[in-house]
């Protein structure tokens, strides 16, 4: 007998050789059917793998991340089996799980191709094979055996992978007529895969190397229940409807022009108004938090970026220097605001008593992103960072971090991003060589971030090796209304630039010290933030932010004058309104303005004119009654105050 410790620290005895399914069965039969994987002493195992020693375990179902991983990875094998059936001689690259589903990179035999039209038959065959309930059988292989198998199969991709593995660590998995090199784990058998959908096809280089052969990547997703697939497909539909590129066009927020250039957004009046309100919102918070506004030019001498080190790293692959009539004089479009802010810091000497100094600027920067990478407002070549740089003493780091976190949390709360998590990016613990700055400072900064996050009680994951070479950072990821994750704000510690720009302050010891710099952008960039906000709200912005808050709809032309009067009064109350005086029936005007997502439709006809009132209709809710104008203005003001309340 062996001792099995459950997550709740319960310990029970099982016969040696027990597996996850057996353990689950001892709890409930229905649970046993749902188990896809198990954690055994910190390692993820197959649910059917025998446990021969005392162990601490955790059972996983599809709902768990680890359970999904096994499920989708197994589905990738099932897809590979099916592809071998339809395309004999196909060579297989890698087939991992991704955030939503899985893919397999394949090299089709000469002259063969695969397209969306082939998906239905592949899906059908996959389900047919799934229904055979073929077990996933794990076998350990010697390197020689493994090489022999794939040499006979003539799959150079697997051979390459195996050649890099250490002998004694190689395992194969077999299900039905298919055998693959695989670390695992896998689900017990194919039978629990009940729904399958192939999603798309794309080219991908073998091992991500553009000099190597391009393989065909087939993406798919699978579920243990048909209903889950339907829900997922609905979510994709919903995501399509919320696409900020589509809504941005419909609502006339922004556009692009081939003539201006790709990746260079043009903000239309309504978008510009929206953005301005977001900026003012943040400016007000920043004023309250002791930030000082600065303004810097869009270009700087090339030497500035040589000093910062960015020219060496990005110069060749970015916008090229601007030349002037003066021989040898070169300027760069600024790819970031930091060097300019460092120069502002240097414009006068600083005492330790002055710190922290916080310079804030909505600074527009230019980066030559690869053309294929541009995407709506989320990836552009010119964007405006809600940037600020905090210059502080090392002992102030944690305090400043806490304050920045406060700002970010206030923004999330006000804009209704209820779900978010943070990622703390630290040094690679095994290799400190690629990082600049003293060990002591890094330790201080890393613990400052960790403690700040802990103090605020934030949901966070720590990623080792993800820090920038110049310092650790904290990133904020929000989940939008339909569950998609977006990276927004970032707070980064920087030891590099203060060094390179030789920034100093005079300490209480009358000696010169180097300040620490914090880069922070709670929105990330205005472009990206507005894009995420559009997708989060589906264009139904909070009342305080939306470009047009109310539209006045006269029943007929006779009431246009009254409508204009109402609009003027509302505008005096700072409520953004306009009159829809088109010669259309009221039903048509309601429909059009509902579709335009205007939050309030104010209908005026004979009754309203006589009683000096308006009939209020809330977008998506219908008629909510008649009010006089002052009453309505107070009503709106209250709603806005509620939204902005801390």
Partner RNA sequence: GCCGAUGUAGCUCAGUUGGUCAGAGCAGCUGAUUUGUAAUCAGCCGGUCGGCGGUUCGAAUCCGUCCAUCGGCUCCA
Residue of 358, 367, 427, 536 marked active site: 367
Q: CB of residue 542 vs RNA: minimum separation in angstroms?
A: 19
332-to-171, 193, 318, 409 alpha-carbon distances in Å = 53, 55, 10, 35
320-to-265, 299, 310, 350 alpha-carbon distances in Å = 20, 12, 13, 35
* Among 134-142, 174-182, 431-439, 580-588, the segment contacting RNA (CB under 7 A): 580-588
Q: Is 630 in the site for RNA (CB under 7 A)?
A: no
588-to-97, 117, 286 alpha-carbon distances in Å = 49, 41, 44
Helix (H, G, I), strand (E, B) or coil at 499: helix
> Given candidates 270, 584, 627, 633, which one binds RNA under the rule CB under 7 A?
584
* Among 48-56, 347-355, 374-382, 508-516, the segment contacting RNA (CB under 7 A): 374-382
Of 148 and 591, which has the nearer Cβ to RNA? Answer: 591
Q: Is 583 in the site for RNA (CB under 7 A)?
A: yes
> Given candidates 85, 149, 314, 573, which one binds RNA under the rule CB under 7 A?
314
Q: Is 369 in the site for RNA (CB under 7 A)?
A: yes
Q: Is 42 in the site for RNA (CB under 7 A)?
A: no
- Binding-residue pattern over the window 525 to 564 for RNA, x denoting contact by CB under 7 A: ------------------------------xxxx------
H or E element at residue 388: strand 382-392
Q: CB of residue 316 vs RNA: minimum separation in angstroms?
A: 10
Distance, in Å, from the CA atom of 439 to the CA atom of 377, rounded to the nearest integer, reads 39
258-to-263, 265, 271, 526 alpha-carbon distances in Å = 9, 10, 19, 22
H or E element at residue 71: helix 65-86
Q: Is 128 in the site for RNA (CB under 7 A)?
A: no
Distance, in Å, from the CA atom of 604 to the CA atom of 606, rounded to the nearest integer, reads 7
Q: Is 217 in the site for RNA (CB under 7 A)?
A: yes
> Given candidates 242, 310, 358, 520, which one binds RNA under the rule CB under 7 A?
310
Q: Is 611 in the site for RNA (CB under 7 A)?
A: no
Q: Is 262 in the site for RNA (CB under 7 A)?
A: yes
- Binding-residue pattern over the window 76 to 115 for RNA, x denoting contact by CB under 7 A: ----------------------------------------
DSSP structure class, residue 38? E
Q: Is 595 in the site for RNA (CB under 7 A)?
A: yes
Distance, in Å, from the CA atom of 441 to the CA atom of 198, rounded to the nearest integer, reads 49
CA 626 from centroid of its chain's CA atoms: 43
- Told to judge if 367 belongs to the known catalytic residues of this protein, a careful annotator would answer yes
Distance, in Å, from the CA atom of 193 to the CA atom of 214, rounded to the nearest integer, reads 30
CB-CB contact of 272 with 251 (8 Å): no
Q: Residues touching RNA: how many (CB under 7 A)?
A: 62
* Among 78-86, 277-285, 310-318, 399-407, the segment contacting RNA (CB under 7 A): 310-318
Q: Is 618 in the site for RNA (CB under 7 A)?
A: no
Of 168 and 203, which has the nearer Cβ to RNA? Answer: 203
Q: Is 622 in the site for RNA (CB under 7 A)?
A: yes
Residue of 105, 387, 475, 580 marked active site: 387
> Given candidates 69, 81, 527, 608, which one binds RNA under the rule CB under 7 A?
608
- Told to judge if 389 belongs to the known catalytic residues of this protein, a careful annotator would answer yes
Distance, in Å, from the CA atom of 18 to the CA atom of 38, rounded to the nearest integer, reads 12
* Among 7-15, 411-419, 498-506, 601-609, the segment contacting RNA (CB under 7 A): 601-609
Q: At what angle do helices 629-644 and 560-572 cross, to 10 degrees?
A: 40
Q: Which residues of 394-430 are buried (b: 16+ CB within 10 A; e: fewer)?
A: bebbbebbebbbebbbbbbebbebeebebbbbbbeee
Q: Is 117 in the site for RNA (CB under 7 A)?
A: no
Q: Is 631 in the site for RNA (CB under 7 A)?
A: no
Q: Is 283 in the site for RNA (CB under 7 A)?
A: no
Q: Is 617 in the site for RNA (CB under 7 A)?
A: yes
Of 286 and 337, which has the nearer Cβ to RNA? Answer: 337
Q: Is 601 in the site for RNA (CB under 7 A)?
A: yes
Of 185 and 271, which has the nearer Cβ to RNA? Answer: 271
- Told to judge if 342 belongs to the known catalytic residues of this protein, a careful annotator would answer no
List alpha helices for 222-370, DSSP H. Answer: 226-242, 244-250, 269-288, 302-308, 310-314, 338-345
- Told to judge if 519 belongs to the known catalytic residues of this protein, a careful annotator would answer yes
> Given candidates 154, 214, 568, 571, which one binds RNA under the rule CB under 7 A?
214
Q: Residue 284: how many CB atoms within 10 A of its CB?
A: 11
Distance, in Å, from the CA atom of 242 to the CA atom of 556, rounded to the nearest integer, reads 34
Residue of 91, 217, 519, 520 marked active site: 519
Distance, in Å, from the CA atom of 339 to the CA atom of 296, rounded to the nearest integer, reads 10
> Given candidates 485, 588, 630, 642, which one binds RNA under the rule CB under 7 A?
588
Q: List the interface residues with RNA, window 221-250 (CB under 7 A).
A: 245, 249
Nearest Cα to Cα of residue 529 among 642, 330, 384, 339? 384
> Given candidates 358, 367, 403, 576, which one binds RNA under the rule CB under 7 A?
367
* Among 372-380, 413-421, 503-511, 570-578, the segment contacting RNA (CB under 7 A): 372-380
Q: Is 615 in the site for RNA (CB under 7 A)?
A: yes
> Given candidates 168, 208, 297, 328, which one binds RNA under the rule CB under 7 A?
208
Q: List the interface residues with RNA, window 460-489 (CB under 7 A).
A: 468
Distance, in Å, from the CA atom of 550 to the CA atom of 548, rounded to the nearest integer, reads 6
Q: Residue 37: how many CB atoms within 10 A of its CB?
A: 30
Q: List the interface residues with RNA, window 319-348 (CB under 7 A).
A: 335-336, 338
Q: Is 591 in the site for RNA (CB under 7 A)?
A: yes
CB-CB contact of 139 with 174 (8 Å): yes
- Told to judge if 473 belongs to the known catalytic residues of this protein, a careful annotator would answer yes
Q: CB of residue 259 vs RNA: minimum separation in angstroms?
A: 9
CA 491 from centroid of its chain's CA atoms: 16
Helix (H, G, I), strand (E, B) or coil at 317: helix
- Told to judge if 340 belongs to the known catalytic residues of this protein, a careful annotator would answer no
Helices vs strands, H then E, count in the chain: 20, 33
Residue of 49, 244, 473, 520 marked active site: 473
Residue of 338, 396, 480, 492 marked active site: 338
Give DSSP secondary structure letters for 92-134. E----EETTEEEEEEE--TT----GGGHHHHHHHHHHHHHTT-
Residues 6+ apart with CB under 8 A from 415: 533, 536, 542, 545
Q: CB of residue 403 vs RNA: minimum separation in angstroms?
A: 21
35-to-23, 38, 52 alpha-carbon distances in Å = 10, 8, 19
CA 151 from centroid of its chain's CA atoms: 41
CB-CB contact of 54 with 7 (8 Å): no
Q: Is 426 in the site for RNA (CB under 7 A)?
A: no
The catalytic residues are 338, 367, 385, 387, 389, 473, 519
Return residues touching RNA (CB under 7 A).
200, 202-205, 208, 210, 214, 217, 245, 249, 256, 258, 261-263, 310, 313-314, 318, 335-336, 338, 367-376, 379, 468, 555-558, 582-588, 590-592, 594-595, 601, 603, 605-608, 615, 617, 620, 622-623
């Amino acid at each position: 007998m062996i001792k099995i410790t459950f997550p709740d620290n319960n310990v029970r005895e099982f016969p040696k050789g027990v597996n996850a399914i057996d353990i689950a069965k001892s709890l409930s039969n229905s649970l046993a059917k749902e188990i896809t994987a198990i954690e055994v002493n910190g390692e993820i195992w197959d649910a059917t793998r025998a446990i021969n020693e005392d162990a601490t375990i955790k059972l996983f179902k599809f709902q768990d991340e680890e359970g999904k991983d096994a499920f989708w990875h197994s589905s990738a094998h099932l897809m590979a089996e099916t592809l071998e059936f339809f395309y004999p001689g196909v060579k297989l690259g890698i087939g991992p799980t991704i955030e939503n589903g899985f893919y397999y990179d394949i090299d089709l035999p000469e002259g063969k191709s695969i397209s969306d039209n082939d998906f239905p038959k592949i899906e059908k065959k996959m389900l047919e094979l799934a229904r055979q309930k073929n077990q996933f059988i794990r076998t350990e292989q010697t390197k020689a055996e493994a090489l022999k198998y794939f040499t006979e199969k003539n799959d150079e991709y697997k051979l390459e992978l195996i050649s890099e593995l250490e002998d004694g660590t190689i395992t194969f998995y077999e299900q039905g007529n298919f055998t693959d090199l695989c670390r695992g784990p896998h689900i017990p058998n194919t039978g629990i895969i009940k729904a399958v959908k192939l999603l798309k096809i794309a080219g991908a280089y073998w091992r991500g190397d553009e000099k190597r052969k391009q393989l065909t990547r087939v993406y798919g997703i699978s579920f243990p229940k048909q209903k889950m697939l339907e829900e997922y497909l609905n979510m994709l539909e919903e995501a399509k409807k919320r696409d900020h590129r589509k809504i941005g066009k419909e609502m006339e927020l922004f556009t692009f022009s081939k003539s201006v250039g790709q990746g260079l957004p043009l903000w239309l009046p309504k978008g510009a108004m929206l953005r301005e309100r977001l900026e003012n919102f943040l400016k007000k918070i920043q004023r309250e938090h002791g930030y000082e506004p600065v303004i810097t030019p869009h270009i700087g001498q090339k030497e500035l970026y040589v000093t910062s080190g960015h020219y060496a790293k990005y110069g060749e692959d970015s916008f090229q220097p601007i030349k002037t009539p003066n021989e040898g004089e070169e300027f760069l479009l600024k790819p970031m605001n930091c060097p300019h802010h460092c120069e502002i810091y240097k414009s006068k000497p600083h005492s330790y008593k002055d710190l922290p100094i916080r310079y804030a600027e909505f600074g527009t920067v230019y980066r030559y992103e690869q053309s294929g990478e541009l995407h709506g407002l989320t990836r552009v070549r010119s964007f405006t960072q809600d940037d600020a740089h905090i210059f502080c003493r090392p002992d102030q780091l944690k305090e400043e971090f806490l304050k920045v976190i406060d700002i970010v949390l206030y923004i999330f709360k006000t804009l209704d991003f209820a779900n978010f998590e943070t990622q703390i990016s630290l040094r690679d613990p095994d290799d400190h060589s690629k990082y600049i700055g003293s060990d002591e400072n890094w330790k201080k900064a890393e613990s400052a971030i960790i403690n700040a996050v802990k103090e605020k009680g934030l949901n966070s994951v720590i990623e080792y090796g993800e820090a920038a070479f110049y310092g650790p950072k904290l990133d904020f990821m929000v989940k939008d209304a339909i569950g998609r994750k977006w990276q927004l704000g970032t707070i980064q510690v920087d030891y590099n630039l203060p060094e390179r720009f030789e920034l100093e302050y005079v300490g209480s010891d009358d000696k010169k010290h180097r300040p620490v710099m914090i880069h922070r952008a709670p929105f990330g960039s205005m472009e990206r933030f507005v894009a995420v906000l559009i997708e989060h709200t589906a264009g139904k912005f909070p009342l305080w932010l939306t470009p047009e808050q109310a539209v006045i709809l006269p029943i007929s032309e006779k009431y246009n004058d009254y409508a204009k009067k109402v609009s003027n009064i509302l505008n005096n109350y700072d409520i953004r309104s306009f009159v829809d005086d088109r010669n259309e029936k009221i039903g048509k005007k309601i429909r059009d303005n509902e579709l335009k997502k205007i939050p309030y439709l104010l209908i005026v006809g004979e009754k309203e004119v006589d009683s000096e009132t308006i009939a209020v209709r809330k977008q998506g809710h219908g008629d909510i009654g008649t009010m006089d104008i002052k009453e309505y203005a107070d009503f709106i003001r209250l709603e806005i105050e509620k939204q902005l309340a801390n």
